[in-house]
Amino acid sequence: MSRAVEETNRRMLRARDAMDRAYAQPLDVPALARLAHVSEGHFIRTFRATFGETPHRYLQRRRVERSMFLLRETDRSVTDICYAVGFTSLGTFSRTFRDIVGQSPSLYRRTAVNVPVPTCFTRTWMRPATPAGPATPAAPATPAGPATPAGPATPAGPGTPAGSATTVRTATWMGPVSFG
């Protein structure tokens, strides 16, 4: 890998890390481009080439990932979670959540299953997948069966209501950001 490519990757990672730290704040492409020391247009094109999605879509996915955690682990209302993760409209939050996860936030809360596994595995398994994004690797074996490709429903493990299934999804992104 050339030095120029390494430097470009480093700049994009710097911007992505800033987005990860400040996911609940409004997306400010000009500020992110300044962090990466490139123009706005070049930043958007390079970010997409590097990570497989636009900065805006990355931030949406990051917010949805955080909202998935809050829906599973807290009793806060869907509206409260919507605003806490940085969405300004409940309708946009619900539509985006459904597009990324495949079900509404309320249904996700009712069907989400907490499995006693290390947090690093949970983060990887529970990340929402993008249908149009880069290819995702096969998911690890679930308690109820062998490894499956990312996305399809598999029988859930113990403690899951009869007739329900869990969807194992993976993604190729990670992290938080703040704007200076």
The number of beta carbons lying within 10 Å of the beta carbon of residue 11 is: 19
Q: Residue 103 burial (CB < 10 Å; 0-12/13-18/19+)?
A: middle
- What does the mean pLDDT of the chain come to? 77
At 159-177, the pLDDT tens digits run 444 444 444 343 333 334 4
The answer as to CATH 3.40.50.10860 being correct for domain 56-175 is no
| pLDDT reading at 151 higher than 70 | no
Distance, in Å, from the CA atom of 169 to the CA atom of 126, rounded to the nearest integer, reads: 6
Instruction: Give long-range contacts, CB 8 A cutoff, 24+ apart: 6-9.
Output: 8/46, 8/50, 9/50
Segment 101-129 shows an average pLDDT of 80
Cβ pair 54, 44 in contact under 8 A: yes
71-112: pLDDT as tens digits = 999 999 999 999 999 999 999 999 999 999 999 999 999 998
> Domain map of the chain by residue range?
1-51, 56-175
Q: What's the pLDDT at 72?
A: 92
Residues 73, 111: Cα–Cα separation, whole Å = 12
